[in-house]
Amino acid sequence: MAGTPSITLNNGLTMPQVGFGVFQIPEAETAAAVSTALEAGYRSIDTAAAYANEAGVGAALKASGVPRDELFITTKLWNSDQGYDQTLRAFDASVARLGLDVLDLYLIHWPTPKRGKYLDTWRALDNLYQQGRIRAIGVSNFLPEHLRAVADLGGTVPAVNQIEVHPQLQQRAAQEANAALGVVTEAWSPLAQAGVLDDPAITSIATAHDRTPAQVVLRWHVQQGRVIIPKSVTPERIRQNLALFDFELTAEEMTAIDALECDGRTGPHPDHFN
């Protein structure tokens, strides 16, 4: 973890600011990708039950020999497992696939408001947290109204809200709502699934710093204080996406990237994904 800063969550736990995402990596290729990431120095891995590759992550963790207390492992509860009892069962299945006794961060993957189950689901996460089976609990894709409903339960406040953030979809209102409740914003698809990397505003900044466009976009996130979890199956890119802490974007360059906002959502809208 040397060289990679940590972010302190609202319960005092720290998590690396840069982690490794494994969405859309086939199970058979996941262990190799995660092994490459661990060798490159990543210590935070972001998976989900829905990615169907938790066992591959677990195999790489076990083979790595990295001490457990240096790792920060996140997985997520899938929509069809929402509800109090189903959540408890789904958690057991996820940690078994990962080969872990205690999980670092468990997230509700989507609020799926039409199901009307996310508050009961949150109570189950809180129960697992109180038992010490998870070190921090959080949510993903929660809009401010969903987040406030969870906070209003009066139990544990989510430590993290993992939402889509990149230059073309900055979700400033959602980030402010997170911050107001003491919830860390974690950006998914931080590179817009590579869709922002050939924008001239990005490529010109990259040229000026002798960095790649991906590094410029990831550095923009880092300077704004978010946790990021870029995904790659390409070893050179895996290493490059962690090399973000020996250069700095100017205020003008940050503003130029901010100006790329265009409501460019790559994934579903949380209100309509059920």
Q: Catalytic positions, please? A: 51
- Residue 100 engages ligand NDP in binding (rule: CB under 6 A): no
Cα 28 to Cα 33, 55, 201, 231: the distances in Å are 10, 10, 37, 16
Other beta carbons within 10 angstroms of residue 256's beta carbon come to 18
Query: Which residue number is nearest to ligand NDP in terms of Cβ?
Result: 21
x/- letters, 136..165, toward ligand NDP (CB under 6 A): ----xx--------------------x---
Q: Is 191 in the site for ligand NDP (CB under 6 A)?
A: yes
One residue of 42, 118, 142, 188 binding ligand NDP per CB under 6 A: 188
Token look-up 């209100």 returns 271
Per CB under 6 A, does 234 bind ligand NDP?
Answer: yes
Q: 121, 108 in Cβ contact below 8 A?
A: yes
Q: Which of 100, 214, 244, 249 binds ligand NDP (CB under 6 A)?
A: 214
Per CB under 6 A, 17 contacts ligand NDP: no
**Contact residue for ligand NDP among 230, 243, 249, 257 (CB under 6 A):** 230
Q: Is there binding between residue 192 and ligand NDP (CB under 6 A)?
A: yes
Binding of residue 240 to ligand NDP (CB under 6 A): yes
Residue 52 lies near ligand NDP (rule: CB under 6 A): no
125 sits near ligand NDP (criterion: CB under 6 A) = no
Ramachandran area for residue 24 (φ above 0: left; ψ -120 to 50: alpha; else beta): left
Binding site for ligand NDP (CB under 6 A): 21-23, 46, 109, 140-141, 162, 188-194, 197, 212, 214, 229-234, 237, 240-241, 267
